[in-house]
């Protein structure tokens, strides 16, 4: 079989083994034959794969492109000719010493070609074995080495389920690193810091690819089934359920020996609309604390940069009728609803609101989504920056422990809500406040000057330095009952309170007369005046009532 390969195919085999492919054809054949004695399993599989690809190319060139009319004519009128050697296996087909039949490759030869319909769907040959596919970098893993470069999953036959094996061998250093960096404290599940990581992605070379599993995929490592991420259930009809896009850790099934070849067998259902790739890496797993330490080591975004963004956002636009003069920013993290300790945001985000870096990394360590919790846009680890402006705000002595929100101003400064209220109270002039005193539930008196009370029977006292006032203030008593409205108007007597010292004697005299202390009035009462019930009805408030009006 090696003698039937062309120079390009021999060079392809040597490139796969990272061996020099310069020289003549006979030199390349000798190198491959010598390598077969040391690593037969890996090399024989590659030789058969290249040979199958070469045969498929020859079939495609012989029958040309797929033509429905030509296919129909061959199916309607097959040329059947007697051939005595038709019953022999591989009759008329040249084979090399030690060659074996290759699965998925139609037999060739004069007898077979005359007795069989031409191969309808030849194996596609335009798919490269090692395409230039770049997988996206995983933040929680550092790549230490490449065990299997991104390789295409090429169907080998027309069956529904395809199966392709891949091979790799660990170096002594790699095997030692994996064995020495493992946590055996949990006997049920051994954790490896250095892992053998398996990844699938789409066969697309235009940009970096995310992890993507082929349909109905299953993986075996050294004939041991690997646990893949659980399928996401779906209720949509005729839709293939998908798996979460995550890498697969196959370290537990790998033989940690540099002398043993590890085999990865992949089974999947081909999707003729798009292709898939497989890659195997040696990686080191990181924690959220290590990533946070790297962020701090990378540096802090200067506060002047954020201050410039604030000025830019608050700059008045002449074409806009609504001008923004102030922005409110919360100091609580949108994830933990607590005050941030390390404020950060993605450099690709346009908002000023930050989130806590530690909580964000811990969340993505459990379930990697890498979406900004503020705007829900992609915020990968490489784009995260610690904001120096908000670090200064959180460390400021002007910020109280209960302050959870700040206000950003046009000049790039900031203030809290409490500081802003204090500034408004200081700038506001004081206004005169009128005294209001409620005497009872029904009477409300608004006083603007002092009131002096004089006892009944006391001589009038007039101050020389006090001006005489003739203005009387009437106090209306609202405690009268509704039944008083039936009394004659002549019997009603308004209660008048004099607020000046001049009118006080009159009030005292009238009070004493009503109470019967004067002689004239007393005689009048005895000479057929009003009876006791009538006097009680017209009796004004006594001293206890008058004391209620004193201040």
Q: What 3 state SS string does 360-379 have?
A: HHHHHHHCCCCECCCCCCEC
Average pLDDT over residues 84-90: 38
Q: Specify the pLDDT at position 119.
A: 38
Convert the pLDDT of each residue in 479-530 to its tens digit: 555 555 555 554 455 554 444 444 444 444 344 444 444 444 444 344 444 5
203: pLDDT strictly greater than 80: yes
pLDDT band for position 364 (cuts 50, 70, 90): very high
Q: Specify the pLDDT at position 69.
A: 38
Average pLDDT over residues 262-271: 91
Q: Specify the pLDDT at position 447.
A: 55
Convert the pLDDT of each residue in 26-43 to its tens digit: 888 888 887 777 767 677
CA distances from 505 to 103, 135, 499, 514, 517 (A): 134, 108, 12, 14, 15
What is the set of domains in the chain, with CATH numbers?
1-66+94-125 (no CATH), 141-231+242-286 (2.60.120.780), 291-316+324-427 (3.30.40.10), 444-547 (no CATH)
Q: How many residues does the chain have?
A: 551
Q: Specify the pLDDT at position 11.
A: 79
pLDDT band for position 547 (cuts 50, 70, 90): very low
Mean pLDDT of the chain: 72
- The number of angstroms, rounded, from the C-alpha of 271 to the middle of its chain's C-alpha atoms is 33
Alpha-carbon span 385 to 354, nearest angstrom? 10
Alpha-carbon span 332 to 269, nearest angstrom? 48
Convert the pLDDT of each residue in 125-169 to its tens digit: 467 888 899 999 999 999 999 999 999 998 888 788 889 999 999
Alpha-carbon span 439 to 545, nearest angstrom? 11
The answer to whether 148 and 166 have CB atoms below 8 angstroms apart is: yes
Per DSSP, 399 falls in state S
423: pLDDT strictly greater than 50: no
The DSSP secondary structure of 215-272, one letter per residue, reads TT-EEEETTEEPPPPPPBP--STT---B--S--EE-GGGS---TTS-EEEEEEE---T
CA distances from 378 to 142, 358, 382 (A): 21, 17, 11
Convert the pLDDT of each residue in 379-389 to its tens digit: 999 999 999 99
Alpha-carbon span 32 to 22, nearest angstrom? 13
The answer to whether 354 and 307 have CB atoms below 8 angstroms apart is: no
Alpha-carbon span 106 to 52, nearest angstrom? 9
Convert the pLDDT of each residue in 439-485 to its tens digit: 555 555 555 555 455 444 445 544 444 444 444 555 655 655 555 55
Q: Specify the pLDDT at position 444.
A: 55
Q: Specify the pLDDT at position 513.
A: 43
Higher-confidence residue of 7 and 408: namely 408
């Amino acid at each position: 079989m090696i003698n039937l390969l062309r120079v390009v195919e021999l060079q392809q085999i040597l490139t796969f083994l990272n061996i020099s492919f310069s020289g003549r054809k006979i030199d390349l054949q000798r190198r491959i034959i010598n390598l077969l004695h040391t690593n037969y399993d890996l090399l024989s599989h590659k030789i058969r794969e290249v040979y199958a690809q070469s045969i498929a190319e020859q079939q495609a060139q012989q029958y040309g492109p797929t033509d429905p009319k030509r296919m129909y004519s061959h199916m309607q009128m097959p040329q059947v000719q007697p051939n005595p050697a038709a019953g022999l296996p591989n009759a008329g087909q040249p084979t090399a010493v030690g060659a074996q039949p290759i699965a998925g490759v139609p037999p060739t030869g004069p007898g077979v070609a005359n007795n069989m319909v031409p191969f309808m769907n030849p194996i596609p040959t335009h798919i490269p074995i090692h395409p230039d596919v770049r997988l996206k970098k995983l933040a929680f893993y550092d790549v230490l080495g490449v065990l299997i470069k991104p390789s295409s999953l090429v169907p080998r036959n027309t069956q529904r389920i395809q199966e392709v094996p891949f091979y790799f061998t660990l170096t002594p250093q790699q095997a030692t690193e994996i064995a020495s960096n493992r946590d055996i404290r949990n006997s049920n599940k051994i954790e490896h810091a250095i892992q053998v990581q398996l990844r699938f992605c789409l066969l697309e070379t235009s940009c970096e690819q995310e992890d993507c599993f082929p349909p109905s995929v299953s993986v075996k490592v050294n004939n041991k089934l690997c646990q893949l991420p659980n399928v996401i259930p779906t209720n949509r009809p005729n839709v293939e359920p998908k798996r979460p896009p995550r890498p697969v850790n196959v370290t537990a099934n790998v033989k940690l020996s540099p002398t043993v070849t590890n085999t990865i067998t992949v089974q999947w259902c081909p999707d003729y609309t798009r292709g898939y790739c497989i890659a195997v890496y040696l990686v080191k797993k990181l924690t959220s604390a290590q990533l946070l330490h790297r962020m701090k080591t990378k540096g802090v975004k200067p506060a002047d940069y954020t201050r410039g963004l604030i000025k830019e956002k608050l700059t008045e636009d002449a074409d806009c009728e609504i001008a923004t003069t102030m922005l409110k920013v919360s100091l609580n993290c949108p994830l933990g609803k607590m005050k941030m300790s390390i404020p950060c945001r993605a450099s690709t985000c346009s908002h000023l609101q930050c989130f806590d870096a530690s909580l964000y990394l811990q969340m993505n360590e459990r379930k990697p989504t890498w979406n900004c919790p503020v705007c829900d846009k992609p915020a990968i680890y490489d784009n995260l920056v610690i904001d120096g402006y908000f670090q200064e705000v959180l460390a400021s002595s002007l910020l109280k422990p209960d302050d959870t929100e700040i206000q950003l101003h046009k000049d790039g400064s900031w203030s809290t809500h409490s500081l802003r209220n204090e500034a408004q109270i200081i700038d506001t002039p004081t206004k005169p406040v009128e005294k209001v005193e409620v005497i009872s539930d029904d009477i409300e008196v608004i006083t603007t000057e002092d009131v002096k009370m004089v006892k009944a029977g006391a001589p009038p006292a007039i101050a020389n330095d006090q001006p005489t006032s003739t203005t009387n203030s009437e106090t209306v008593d609202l405690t009268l009952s509704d039944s008083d409205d039936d009394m004659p108007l002549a019997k009603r007597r308004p209660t008048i309170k004099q607020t000046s010292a001049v009118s006080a004697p009159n009030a005292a005299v009238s009070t004493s007369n009503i109470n019967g202390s004067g002689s004239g009035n007393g005689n009048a009462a005895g000479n057929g005046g009003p009876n006791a019930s009538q006097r009680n009805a017209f009796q004004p408030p006594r001293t206890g009532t008058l004391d209620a009006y004193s201040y």
